Amino acid sequence: MSDIPTDDIILRTRGISMLFPGTVALDNVDYRVWRGKVNVIIGENGAGKSTLMKILAGVQQPSLGEMWLNGKQVHFANTRDAAAQGIGMVHQELNLFENLNVAENIFLGRERQKGLMPIQESEHEAHAATLLKRLDQPISPCELVGNLKVGQQQLIEIAKALAEDADILILDEPTSALSKTEVDILFRVIRELTRQGVSIIYISHRLEELMAIGDVITILRDGKFQAEARVEDIDVPWIVREMLGSDPVSNFLSPGRTFGAPVLEAEHITCVNAAGNSVVNDVSFKVHAGEIVGIYGLMGAGRTELFECMLGTQRNYLGKLWLDSKPVPQRLSTADRIRMGMSLVPEDRKRTGIFPGSSVASNLTIASLWRRLQRGLTISQKDEQAVVASTIGNLSIKVSSPEVEIQALSGGNQQKVVIGRSLLTDPKVLFLDEPTRGIDVGAKADVFRMMVELSKRGIAVVFSTSDLKEIMAVSDRILVMSGGKLTADIVRDRAEESALVTASAQGF
């Protein structure tokens, strides 16, 4: 770091600590942000990245330590205070109002108004249109946010931050739901911002992405500062060693794996959305007992919609479905499909995966009370406590007590709770929609090992991802979807990354 002058440091912390009941989230952290650079920060799930960023953005106040901005000591009482001094943040979890349109979301809380005159909606819409054009997104400022996909909503969050004209912009997992094209657009915007002197703090678990966009990297481990380096001086194995103390495992499947009879059979599944477009277009496939099937595709490929058809959360589909050779009627409810042996870990855990105000224990057992814990007309508290403790231990969920609200957990630990809830329903087929979204490399390895162990017990596992390395690491067979169509069905040993990429573009 010696070739980067220290007077180019725009923000620094000294001895920052954050204490929660039973947890030290940050422990005496010294952190530096360079002006006009992409400052990458990375660490395992629970390493303290998000907590540190929330302190910098005024969401939380530290228990101990100092912050210095442009050479002056500062203290942020809230997010407005931080924003007034030029710090904006795009959070990992979406924070939008679905019943408001795009322009209203972008300017919510900072509406443009003169005296007692009405809010200048036309001015909002014009400025929002400019921001969306800058992001190369053909989204109308008048479109309701609830009608947008997760990836599009992520771009609206970024547009909100750009509207603040921040000197320091914190991006927490900004590409977790974006397609490659959208990532390229975002990277182009980031580079333009840094050329203008804006400092970017960039959090992501996609290591190759960090190498492509980052200038400086800081690594946290267990709430402590671990390492700092220029990105051009290090490589991915160095990052992983600093984070975990070991090199990553790229193949989780042992040779000679065998499978049982078909557990899930789908024929000619077709789903048309409200706009009349086929989001799933004549898809047929089989999954065998003990087999891990990965579905690869970019945003808009139809993977999520296919899973929704399987679980019955999307009823407006055509085609036939069998589970253990038994027909699954189209009108069968989601609850009854779960009872038959299907379970889904959804892509958007904040919206459809968790009950944020409920405890970890309640979130784990809510779907399996009828199967595991009911004793006559009551629930066995003793059995529930035992099941919860076992699941927390087996999945290495970091929580001080099962009674802690799930919203207090980090994103990766929330995801583990959602997966644990699905496992407690004793599924024959487990669907996981982007199960590693927003999870660090260590937690990804935990999820992949869990998937393999479940397959050895005869459970059929179907997961979706847009990450080629993930699909190659843990899939016995790979299905590729593009534009709602199934464009490839390849045994993993014969799969090549170039062929998967080509197949993922055929439907568009």
The secondary structure of 170-228, three-state, reads EEECCCCCCCHHHHHHHHHHHHHHHHCCCEEEEECCCHHHHHHHCCEEEEEECCEEEEE
Domain boundaries, the chain: 6-244, 260-341+428-508, 355-426
Q: What share of the chain is helix, strand, coil (3-state, %, to 5)?
A: 35, 25, 35
- Give per-residue pLDDT as tens, 14-67: 999 999 876 788 999 999 999 999 999 988 767 889 899 999 999 999 999 999
Residue 156 has pLDDT above 70, yes or no: yes
CA–CA distance, 99 with 109 (Å, rounded to integer): 16
pTM to 2 decimals?
A: 0.58
User: For residue 138, what pLDDT band results from cuts at 50, 70 and 90?
Assistant: confident
Does 371 have pLDDT greater than 80? no
What integer pLDDT is reported at residue 364 of this predicted model? 85
Q: What is the pLDDT of residue 114?
A: 66
User: What is the pLDDT at residue 490?
Assistant: 93
pLDDT of 350 reads 66
Q: Distance between alpha carbon 444 and the CA centroid of its chain, in Å?
A: 12
Q: Please state the rounded mean pLDDT for residues 111-125.
A: 74
Judge: domain 260-341+428-508, CATH 3.40.50.300: yes
- pLDDT greater than 80 at residue 376: no
Cα–Cα distance, 399 to 410 (Å, whole number) = 9
pLDDT band at 392 (very low <50, low <70, confident <90, very high): confident
- Give whichever of 88-97, 196-205, 368-377 has the largest mean pLDDT: 196-205
pLDDT score of 508 more than 50: no
Residue among 257, 322, 265, 268 nearest 292 (CA): 257
3-state secondary structure of 375: strand
- The DSSP bridge pattern shows strands 38-43 and 199-203 to be parallel
Are domains 6-244 and 260-341+428-508 of this chain identical in fold? yes
pLDDT tens across 402-459, in order? 888 888 887 778 888 888 888 888 899 999 998 887 676 777 788 888 899 899 999 9
What are the tens digits of pLDDT across the range 261-301?
A: 999 999 999 998 876 778 899 999 999 999 999 999 876 78
- CATH numeric code, 6-244: 3.40.50.300
The H-or-E segment that residue 146 falls in is none
Task: State the pLDDT at residue 251.
Answer: 81
**Which residues are bridge partners to 40 per DSSP?**
202, 217
pLDDT value at residue 374: 55
Q: What is the mean pLDDT of the chain?
A: 85
- Count Cα atoms within 13 angstroms, Cβ side, for 200: 30
Given the DSSP bridges, would you call strands 38-43 and 23-34 parallel, antiparallel or unpaired? unpaired
Q: Is residue 482 within 8 Å of 298, Cβ to Cβ?
A: yes
If you average pLDDT over residues 147-154, what whole number do you get? 81
Q: In Å, what is the CA distance from 60 to each residue of 64, 78, 410? A: 12, 7, 15
CA 80 vs. chain centroid, Å, equals: 26
Give the integer Cα–Cα distance in Å for 456 and 454.
5
The confidence score (pLDDT) of residue 200 equals: 95
CB 324 within 8 A of CB 260: no
Q: Report pLDDT for 6.
A: 60
Each residue's pLDDT tens digit, 452-462: 989 999 999 99
Which pLDDT band, with edges at 50, 70 and 90, does 466 fall under? confident
Residue pLDDT, tens place only, 314-341:
888 999 999 999 999 999 999 899 999 9
What is the number of alpha carbons within 13 Å of residue 399 lying toward its C-beta? 30
φ, ψ of residue 205 to 5 degrees: the values are -105, 0
Residue percentage of the chain with pLDDT more than 70:
89
Core vs surface per residue 374-407: b (16+ CB within 10 A) or e: eeeeeeeeeebeebbeebbeebebebeebebebe
